[in-house]
Amino acid sequence: MSFKAEDMKLISTITDLTDIPSGAINIRVDGQAVIRNSSPNISVGPNDDGTGLKVEIKAGTRDEAVHVPVIVTKAGFKDKVYNTFIVNEDADVTIIAGCGIHNDSHADSGHDGIHTIIVKKGSHMKYVEKHYGEGSGRGKKILNPTTDITVEDGASAEMELVQIAGVDDTLRSTIARIHENGSLKITERLMTHDDQRAESLIDVYLKGTGGNAQILSRAVARDKSSQVFKAALIGQADALGHLECDAIIMDQAKIQSVPQLVAEDAQAVLTHEAAIGKIAGEQLVKLMSLGLSEEEAVNTIIEGFLK
């Protein structure tokens, strides 16, 4: 199976792949799986009701990855998929998801990815999901990911959620439950520009003793774009949670940041930091004193901030 150059470029933007790797993979193009392979330790197949994928990683699998990117290239196409990922006991894997939309039409294109992730006892999972939109049409590029993740006893997960650019409208919902001695780190990086709108809702329930959660959000809103970030840490046990949201606001953009801490157990320790501000003049001057133009300095600061 080979892809058109523009489709491969889109896949590469969201996965960093330059070629189709061997091993576990599912590439979905305009609602159809065009490549689907399992590996000895990672099975990739349809879910029970045929609405999406079921990816299951065998217990004890170490240092393997599965790629499940989606691209939408058909004008006005709206895709919806339900995927389940099960990481069995004592595994250590990376899941590379993500969605790219190319839309040159005046009709809206979109993808709703609804994911259920279960990280079983003693396992570690890294999940990377990048979103990107491009195309010259007036039709919007819309991405609405919904993720429900359970981190079982002694398991750990890292989620890297990135909106690179070009997504006109997004509603991102993430719900997480962390059990005894489980840990979860969510890093979300969002860039909006022009008239784009982004809303991110994250609820993390610390359900077990010794649980640990970190939510780190970095956002940049340019032009007339708007962003809403609402994240809640709900401590229901003797557990630790930290929430940090930093945003750079530019031009006529708007940002609303609502960190919420809810303690339902006297032993829960929950903290948050939140900041919204423009790029500091002294940062610009510093980079310009090293020879960058003002525009290069702005871009360097934003790229670093979202890295």
Partner 1 sequence: MLKLENVSMAIGDNTGEAREIITGINLEFKPGKLYAITGPNGGGKTTIAKVIMGIYKNNSGHVLLDGEDISNLSVSERAKKGIAYAFQQPPRFKGLTVPDMLNIARPGLDQVGIRKSLRDVGLCPEDYQDRDVGPGLSGGEMKRIEIAQVLARDARVSIFDEPEAGVDLWTIQRLIGLIIAKYQNSPKSTAIIITHNERVLPICDEIIVVDGGRIDKQGSGAEIWPLIKDDIECKVKLQCRGEIGYEF
Residue that has been written with the tokens 């790229």 in this structure: 303
- Residue 246 interacts with partner 1 (CB under 8 A): yes or no: yes
Q: Which of 138, 264, 280, 299 binds partner 1 (CB under 8 A)?
A: 280
Q: Which of 16, 271, 294, 299 binds partner 1 (CB under 8 A)?
A: 294
Give min distance, CB of 289 to partner 1, in A. Answer: 5
Give whole-number Cα distances, 81 to 113, 129, 173, 194, 229, in Å. Answer: 5, 15, 15, 28, 24
Stretch 192-231: interaction string toward partner 1, x if CB under 8 A? --------------------------x-------------
Question: What is d(CA 222, CA 170) in angstroms, rounded to the nearest whole number?
Answer: 16
- Residue 299 interacts with partner 1 (CB under 8 A): yes or no: no
Question: What is d(CA 230, CA 272) in angstroms, rounded to the nearest whole number?
Answer: 12
What ranges in the chain are assigned the alpha helix state H?
5-15, 281-288, 294-305
CA atoms within 13 A on the CB side of 186: 31
Give min distance, CB of 227 to partner 1, in A. Answer: 17
Contacts of residue 300, Cβ cutoff 8 Å, sequence gap at least 6: 287, 292
Please say which residue, 97 or 191, places its beta carbon nearer to partner 1.
191
Give the number of residues in contact with partner 1, rule: CB under 8 A.
23
Please say which residue, 177 or 189, places its beta carbon nearer to partner 1.
189
Q: State the residues that interact with partner 1 by CB under 8 A.
A: 218, 246, 280, 282-283, 285-294, 297, 300-301, 303-307
